[in-house]
Chains A and B, each alone.
Chain A
């Protein structure tokens, strides 16, 4: 275990650390330039001079150790096969060095002249830079990385990896340490599988979404068309906003995520209260769809950090994420319905009372969320009152009003017309 971080002094709260790398398949080799903060190499105990400057000529002897430590905890794979390091070089660079802005400059730095022996590089204020080379079968193969330097740092250590595929372009990753193997250029089935898993995991982690779902299904005793319509409308609606958010069609202000979180809490309270007062099952699909739009934004926040893993398959991955969410929801419904049915059939209480009690518990929980989230929302800075945004919001509100009026008002009109039509023959 070469890598470690010691909180050196009492008041130290180590900030976020980053290991930078370029990964470039070229011909029969995978070429990697990697930059590791010296703080991470604490356990190598590099030779020092003066108040703590690295003794650069003496450090040269430790370079192979540093390379071995880095390569051991940063594994590369080609089509599932672990690659073996065959060539490497390393050096120390001062903090001000900016060479890792491009692969070529990073490479030139590692291969260029070493720092003068008199250069003052403090032991924890610089970088260890290395060039690593692995033989590969084909530059078009599927590559993956398993980065697990200092796993104890978890989210505080990020691997900033820029993958330069043979076909051109740059794909950027920000991978927390020790999250397992990550495909750098996933095939469609790899992307789909990983996003189905991710969606499934996220919905089961999202207690608020599950409680909303519970409120939706309480009044239904069995799987029927109305329930299918409700669940489908929720799915379609949240898919729309989830995909829209992934394509960037979403407000960018800091106020938006807390607003969505507040609305999600509010949607649960609304649905729970409707269950208590008078479930309107006929129009539940429509209300569900409206709330589904909000929940979709909520899902998109969960998805944000995952988008780097889509490769060339953004839409497919989004759909797969949705499929994962649906599978999670179905699992929840399949588990919840029999429990509810059992409760309704065995308890000697009226259905109305049972529904009210469950809904009240849900509403109570959601109320706490609402209060907490409102606190956050109250602290965000709203955009300056910009007349354009204000007017646009007004226009949208009016347009939505018209839409709702046409959708909800029309059946009443139709009913009246039908009534007139029935009367007319007499």
Chain B
């Protein structure tokens, strides 16, 4: 009996101690919990690709209305050994070899659609999709870019793709299964900037200058184009016809192409956008966010192009710029703004209301959750963030919000 009581006493003491520890820990956790959202990488996203496919540089990511994740990747950026299972390398132009090198891998079609779990649902487009460029997107009406850049899927499931290869002065529009609908601009139409062109292409649509990114305003069905690597403007066209609506440059002014471009100076606020104008995003409240990448800032406008404010960020970044792509959190007020900072290789998180930087995640590196040239990002309705990496990054990643850290 004595032993029983002793045992019970010990057990109760252990219970009490455990409860005490719990209380203390809960207190600590609550005190430590900041207001900023936190994310953890899902290292199993996406799932392994079929057909021995391997992604090249991933130069765009978007989430559609069904929460499917779309990426655009560059099959021509695979190195000889990465495309080891291809019987010919490179895919286009003069072949340097005509037999496979190894068991893996092959170039994948440029456009890929995944579900949230990372399952590949669909893939089409580009030089690695057999027959696509000879039967489904045929020049001169449909000119696939030489270097794919940026993807967007609109409220009616149309897919828009830009490009920043030398001659890529066009945005092309497809259905979700890859049927060509329309092209805005013309491949190889010019060199240098044409930032004030409004109707120079064969269909009376504007000429573009290496368009980087697109977004459609579902309210007006207008297509906003971050234009781009050669032009220095935000361009708005009708998403159905591709015809010109309006455009503007930095601070809502007319863009200027022929000013002498001096090196970036952190102490000076550039009156113009620098190349590239790398992203455009529309918030639910109607504000338009534009990435002025190398100027290390984003500018905020109304939909009509009136300047509202600008947010300066990592002003001392002297490489490729620190503001590559912007997305907004999916809460009702879209409280947070996420920026892909491909120069410092983090995703930075801002309070959208006042542009205050409240945190970052990721770091330079090649492990899961790290970045090399993080180029784009997109957010689904659950708040998961998908990122895309170029240069030698060549991958897409998924980051899940840590529920317990949310307010």
Contact = CB atoms under 8 A, between A and B. Distances in A.
Interface in A401-416: 401-402, 405-406, 409-410, 413
A124 B177 contact: yes
A244 interface: no
A409 B7 contact: yes
Given A381-B42, A409-B7, A11 B29 contact: no
A13 B14 contact: no
B65 A96 contact: yes
A387 B11 contact: no
Nearest to B4: A413
Contacts of B29: 386-388
Given A124-B177, A125-B157, A391-B18, A384 B8 contact: no
Interface stretch (B80-88, B178-186, B193-201, B346-354): B178-186
B121 interface: yes
A417 B4 CA distance: 12
A17 to B, nearest CB: 11
B191 interface: no
Contacts of B124: 9, 11
B25 A391 contact: yes
A86 B4 CA distance: 78
Interface string A119-148: 011101110000000000000000000000
Contacts of B28: 387
B175 A122 contact: yes
Given A15-B115, A96-B156, A398 B11 contact: yes
Contacts of B130: 10
B402 A398 contact: no
A96 B176 CA distance: 14
Given A96-B65, A402-B8, A410-B4, A15 B15 contact: no
A15 B25 contact: no
Contacts of B65: 95-96
Interface string A232-270: 000000000000000000000000000000000000000
Interface in B1-60: 1, 3-4, 7-8, 11-12, 14-15, 18-19, 21-22, 25-26, 28-29, 40, 42, 44
A80 interface: no
Interface residues of B, number: 50
A93 to B, nearest CB: 11
Contacts of B11: 398, 401-402, 405
Interface size classification for chain A: 35 or more
Contacts of A395: 15, 18-19, 22
Contacts of A383: 404
Contacts of B15: 395, 398-399, 402
B399 to A, nearest CB: 12
A405 B6 CA distance: 12
Interface string A377-394: 001010110111011101
Nearest to B25: A387
Contacts of B104: none
Contacts of B240: 120
B402 A390 contact: no
A178 B207 CA distance: 52
A387 B22 contact: yes
A7 to B, nearest CB: 10
A8 B156 contact: no
B218 interface: yes
Nearest to A10: B130
Contact of A52 (B1, B8, B44, B175): B175
Interface in A2-57: 8-15, 51-52
A94 interface: yes
A15 B122 contact: yes
A383 to B, nearest CB: 8
Interface of B: 1, 3-4, 7-8, 11-12, 14-15, 18-19, 21-22, 25-26, 28-29, 40, 42, 44, 65-66, 68, 109, 113, 115, 120-124, 129-130, 136, 155-158, 175-181, 218, 240, 400, 402, 404
24 contacts: A8-B177, A9-B124, A9-B177, A9-B178, A10-B130, A11-B124, A15-B66, A15-B68, A15-B115, A15-B122, A52-B175, A96-B156, A120-B156, A121-B156, A122-B156, A122-B179, A379-B44, A388-B25, A394-B18, A402-B12, A405-B7, A406-B8, A409-B4, A410-B4
Given A391-B19, A410-B4, 4 more contacts: A387-B28, A388-B29, A391-B21, A394-B18
